[in-house]
Amino acid sequence: MRRPYRLTCAIAGALAAAPLLAAEPTGGIAACAGLENDAQRLECYDRLAGRQSLSPARADAAAEQARAAVQEESERSGEGRRLWPRGEVFQAQEDTQTREAMANVGKGSLLDTRWELAKDSKLGLFNFRVYKPMYLLPAFWTSDVNDAPSSPNPDNTVTVPQSLDSLETKFQISFKTKAWENLFGDNGDIWLGYTQSSRWQVYNTDNSRPFRETNYEPEILLVFRNGYGLPGGWRGRMSAIGINHQSNGRSDPLSRSWNRVMFNFGFDRENWALVARPWIRVGDGSDDDNPDIEDYAGRGDLTLMHVRGDQRFTLMGRHSLRGGDRSHGALQFDWGFPLHPSLRNVRGHLQLFHGYGESLIDYNHKATYVGLGISLQDWF
């Protein structure tokens, strides 16, 4: 059988393997407009228009079929370039279809909606998008107030305890934008990100309601699309390398900062996503605000995310990856839940944290934190 015909049939069969269309969304175009997630909103519009769109499973199947056909033909033809009986034009069309099928692996998956990984998911440059969750927690309580932050560097150790309340307000803003697209052929995008989180002693009237701690985190990431399979139905969707700076912008003795080379590995499966982020710290020399920060804030983290209807669940864990007295870590659980049908862009938000490093000033301070408020955007 000739390759063009076999490849066309393989891709067509993969696309037909799953249901073609979902039921028309209840509520019509207004219901589509109320969806926060870009990919879900587009899919909703496509269903209303009667347009078929690829599901992640079908996109994966089409890419696998195309990759297998290319490998088979490569083995058959060796190093020589083969001209098919149907001519060069038809062969060029088939090659284009093959490349597009492979470049659209995972289209519509959770991580694709966040990072525009698939070829047809890319939205161009300098479109600002939410990066990490954006939330406001009017009630943020800690079990152990850190009123005298310390560090092995004596210049960064507070000697006079501060007057702080155990109840404060926490909020976070975060956004990213793509600065360069398809750096290597049809893959490799450069993203710029910025996250800022603040802890505000808004109820501390005796101390003029100060901002206790604000962390600033700019970063740059080179993100690659992947499409390999793993046991249990998981797929490797993305890998990335980048540079991350985090600091609190304060003077001694409250100054804290560090720089890291970050690695990202993203996986997803239906309504689940998993992101592993090991990192390597870039040293600050002799004038280091927090020389032992890796033994507390960790050398990597792992974040598991789950979407269930209108609810979002996230569990983050990190560890120093050392034993004995250097073994420290933290766990954080976030739950985003609907408040009212009319509030489509706002969810309730519960945050639980236990361990070291809830903020930079508390990097070597262990405590439990409980926050309750609203989120404007979760991970998904």
Active-site residues, by number, are 245, 247
**Residue 181, class by beta-carbon neighbours within 10 Å (0-12 exposed, 13-18 middle, 19+ buried)?**
middle
Tokens 């960790």 sit at which residue?
Answer: 298
Q: How many CB atoms lie within 10 A of CB 346?
A: 17
Give the Cα separation of 205 and 203 in Å (integer): 6
Contacts with 232 (C-beta within 8 Å, 6 or more apart), sequence order: 269
- Residue whose C-alpha is closest to residue 350's, from 118, 174, 141: 141
91: number of Cβ within 10 Å: 17
Using CA atoms, how far residue 7 sits from 10, 68, 92, 229, 349, in Å, is: 5, 9, 13, 21, 48
Beta-bridge partners for 275: 266, 303
User: Residue 205 has which token pair?
Assistant: 């009237």
User: If you ran DSSP here, which 8-state letter would residue 184 be given?
Assistant: B
Here the tokens at position 200 are 């505000």
Strands (E), the chain: 129-130, 134-142, 167-180, 189-200, 211-229, 235-247, 257-269, 272-282, 300-308, 311-319, 329-338, 347-356, 366-377
